[in-house]
A and B are shown apart, each in its own frame.
Chain A
Amino acid sequence: MDHFPGTWGRPRNDVYGAYDPTYLQTTGPKTHTSSPAVTGTSVIGVKFNGGVVLATDNLASYGSLARFTDVKRLRVFGDNAVVGFGGDVSDMQYIDRLLESIDIRENYSTHGNMLNAKNLHTYLAKVFYKRRSEFNPLWNHVLVAGFDVDGKPFLSSADLLGTTFSAPHLATGFGAHLAVPILRRRFPEEMPIEEITREEAVSALKDCLKVLFYRDARSIDKYSIAVITKEGIDLKEDEQIEGQSWAFAERIRGYGRQTN
């Protein structure tokens, strides 16, 4: 006890250590996302004759922790467009709300929501680019699937920098390394998408998910898959990777119990 009433009841530095005043700071520079927090891993997609398939697993990781194991990362927009999100989950939810409000606004017009997947992709890329230009990025890499204005299947990618590209099959994150080679072997680039059936496309994506589950430490064996056709969207969100075989693990050498 000292003779300064202002200090009575206050934590003493020799007991608690000096208080770091920066925690109470209300002024100072405005801070932006400089790294993602809770993240989703790969998104994969393939075009086929008459539509597009898109798939993600249902995991949201917090660093290396499998934090949320039932997060739906495929979001539906309008009647035939789906966005698959990789990257920061809170940014995904923000974008989802954004898309929801656009959908509602668009439906007020006489002819309903006429924004197709291509329009949606253009818009999303603009949003990403604007935010990266403000140094306040939306930390996502998305695939947009659906149809273009001519009714042809559409699959395109957009990322946190606003970079965009399109291809018959696409994958983000780890999938770009593991899934694309599988897809390229099944559906060579010179093969017209008219020769790819829906069943082939779906089964290829399932195999990709399995390989990703084997080798991507931030993945899980529960997944969502969306098949977008002119008839509408067939979205399944509680799927389980079937037919796993961990036999290959026996032969892995170099760490763990078999060090050589």
Chain B
Amino acid sequence: MTSLLGHPAGGEGIGYSFSQPTAAPVKQHGFYPYTDNGGSTLGITGSDFAILAGDTRSTSGYNINSRMVPKVFKIGGDDETGEGAHIVLSVVGFAADGNALKERLDAVVKMYKYQHGKPMSVSACAQRLSTILYQKRFFPYYVTAILSGLDEEGKGALYSYDPVGSYEREQCRAAGAAASLIMPFLDNQVNFKNQYIPGSGEGHALEQKKAEPLPQATVEQLVRDAFTSAVERHIEVGDHLQMMIITRDGIQEVFHPLKKD
């Protein structure tokens, strides 16, 4: 149309605004869809059990939202109480994503049982969780997940994830705000890192103490110690400790008080 009007190109005479609308500059969005709700989680397995734990504090910035927002969930239970579940998931990071992730996995496990007439194995569930996370590779669920249960042989199984779905099976894992405080403690106390057998060699060339599965009572105490220590040094961790203890008899859920400061 512009050329039909015979309007001369700019540069001479009086200018008029006839130029075709140019594409508007792409506006940067002012909305950030994530937040960090703090908190920490921890899982340790034994030969015939697994424990998954987390604190129950929810924060935004320096505010405490609530002192009782659990991060550890039963997956695939028969009803609202979670009865009949044999898999446990913990999520820490952005709580809304965590909840969405939990509900999706829960629905998947329920549908699996409905369609196949048998409960989903922990290893299958672990693989599925990885897929769910990876499907949102470019708009991730901003959470660190830990999945736990008993494997086909009845041994404690624990899988840890990054937000986009890479995962591995481990003996123990800490995640969330105080992960960097708890994990070294676990390395030392569960995998016996830097522990040497006295008198097993010359000078400092000592033999490493070999890691072996710990008894349940020891692990429970380790978890509680890990959290009481984390609470001392991290402001986003505290209020209550929620523990899910998975054995062949089912899942036992217990709460312990933590410092509220």
Q: Do chains A and B touch in the complex (CB under 8 A)?
A: yes
B14 & A12 in contact (Cβ 8 Å cutoff): yes
Closest Cβ of chain A to B36, distance in Å, is: 10
**Chain B interface helix/strand/loop/mixed:** loop
Residues of A with C-beta under 8 A to B29: 32, 34, 135
Of the four ranges (under 10, 10 to 19, 20 to 34, 35 or more), the interface on chain A belongs to 35 or more
User: Does B180 reach chain A (CB closer than 8 Å)?
Assistant: no
A35 at interface (Cβ–Cβ under 8 A)? yes
Residue among A34, A135, A162, A163 with most chain B CB within 10 A: A163
Tell me the chain B residues, 1-54 only, with Cβ under 8 Å from chain A: 4-8, 13-24, 26-27, 29-31, 33-35, 37
Q: Complex formed: what's the CA distance from A182 to B252 in Å?
A: 37
Interface 1/0 per residue, A1-15 and B, CB below 8 Å: 010101100111110
Chain A residues with CB under 8 A of B5: 4, 6-7
Question: Given the complex, which residues of B lie within 8 Å of A21, measured CB to CB?
Answer: 17, 19-22
Contact B31 A2 (CB under 8 A): no
* Partner of B26 from A29, A33, A34, A157 at Cβ < 8 Å: A29
At the interface with chain A, which of B62-70, B159-167, B169-177? B62-70
B residues contacting the other copy or chain, number (CB 8 A): 41
Q: Is the CB of A165 within 8 A of B58?
A: yes
- Min CB–CB distance A126 → chain B (angstroms): 9
A2 adjacent to B14 (CB under 8 Å):
yes
Instruction: Please give, as numbers and ranges, the residues of chain B lying within 8 Å of A29 by CB-CB distance.
Output: 24, 26-27
CB of B139 closer than 8 Å to a CB of A: yes
CB pair A163–B37 under 8 Å, yes or no, is yes
Contacts of A25 in B (CB 8 A): 21, 24
CB nearest to B20 among chain A residues: A21
User: Given contacts A135-B29, A161-B96, A176-B63, are A166 and B68 in contact (CB under 8 A)?
Assistant: yes
Please tell me which one of the listed residues B26, B31, B67 contacts residue A189 in the complex, with CB atoms under 8 A apart.
B67
Do B24 and A177 have beta carbons less than 8 Å apart?
no
A161 with B20: in contact, given A13-B14, A14-B14 (CB under 8 Å)?
A: no
> How far apart sit A7 and B5, CA to CA, in the bound complex (Å)?
8
Q: Is the CB of A166 within 8 A of B7?
A: no
CB <8 Å contact, B65 and A28: no
B95 at the interface (CB under 8 A from A): yes
Beyond contacts A11-B16, A177-B63: 10 other A-B pairs, Cβ-Cβ < 8 A, are: A2-B13, A4-B6, A4-B8, A34-B27, A132-B96, A135-B29, A135-B33, A137-B31, A161-B34, A165-B65
